[in-house]
A and B are shown apart, each in its own frame.
Chain A
Amino acid sequence: MADATPGARARPLSPHAQIWRWHVTMAASILNRATGAALYGGAILFMGWALALASGPVAYDDYVGVLGSIPGKVVLFGLTLSAFYHLFAGLRHLAWDSGKGFTPAVADRTAWAALIAAAVASVAVWVIAGLMGKL
């Protein structure tokens, strides 16, 4: 909140999104924030699950019924993707924090790796769940 002093003069702005050439590290960064925001919703679903569980079998069956419906499954698959992507992107951030992986070539490769790993891990979890007869 340091730069939100009331009555302060307008400051010069840095060049904004539309003048940049699109590149994968930019997409990876934006997706990290977007999936973080999506997981805010996922955490609220976790809270709802705990509340329904504590409220008894009727509430629990209703809640799980909504999650298990087709729209519910679509949301849950999106949250699986978000969780895995945010996790892998978070590992990139931890590597950067230790001073590693900053060169453009490496940053590009790890961005692709995080995107692909998230897709593969999410599909794998849902395939395994399907093979276990959970879907």
Chain B
Amino acid sequence: MGGFRTPLGRARGLGAAKSGVGHFIGERVSSVALVPLVLWGIWSAVGLAGGGHDDAVAWLRSPLNATLAILLALTGFYHMQLGMRVIIEDYVARHTTRSALLILNLFFCCLAAVLTVLSLLKVAVGGGAY
């Protein structure tokens, strides 16, 4: 989430080495977590394919499935925010457009993460029938 400071602000503060690798490390660590989570996600998607609402609800009410689905969502939306940030920084040169897109990307990923996790939790712990 860092990186909004100006070069001068950074130079006056603690220096780039204090936070400059934050994006790099965040992208790598989330990618390590996503290797097993995505493989599990693909395997789960195959299992759920062709099933109805009841099957999916029963699947998500298993605590293990709910936990892994929420971790996949949180790690995935975090990782994609970092990745899309680099794409925007590489291709959008105009300062105002670039800042607007970076903020839009951040807000959208946060919105998507909360929406997905809340939806998953509602089914996983909500109880009752549909």
Contact = CB atoms under 8 A, between A and B. Distances in A.
Interaction A to B: yes
A1 B50 CA distance: 46
- Interface size bracket, A side: 35 or more
Given A94-B32, A125-B42, A40 B80 contact: yes
Contacts of A53: 53, 56-57, 60, 119-120, 123
Q: Which of A36, A43, A44 has the most CB of B within 10 A?
A: A43
Interface in B11-39: 28, 31-32, 34-35, 38-39
Contacts of B50: 68, 133-135
A5 B6 CA distance: 9
Interface stretch (A18-26, A85-93, A104-112): A85-93
Interface residues of B, number: 47
Q: Which of A6, A40, A56, A135 has the most CB of B within 10 A?
A: A40
B87 A37 contact: yes
Given A53-B56, A60-B56, A87-B35, A129 B46 contact: yes
Contact of A47 (B7, B83, B112): B112
Chain A contact surface mostly: helix
A70 B87 CA distance: 31
B112 A44 contact: yes
Contacts of B123: 50, 53-54
Contacts of A133: 50
Interface of A: 1-2, 4-6, 33, 36-37, 39-40, 43-44, 46-47, 50-51, 53-54, 56-57, 60-61, 64, 68, 80, 83, 87, 90-91, 93-94, 97, 125, 128-129, 132-135
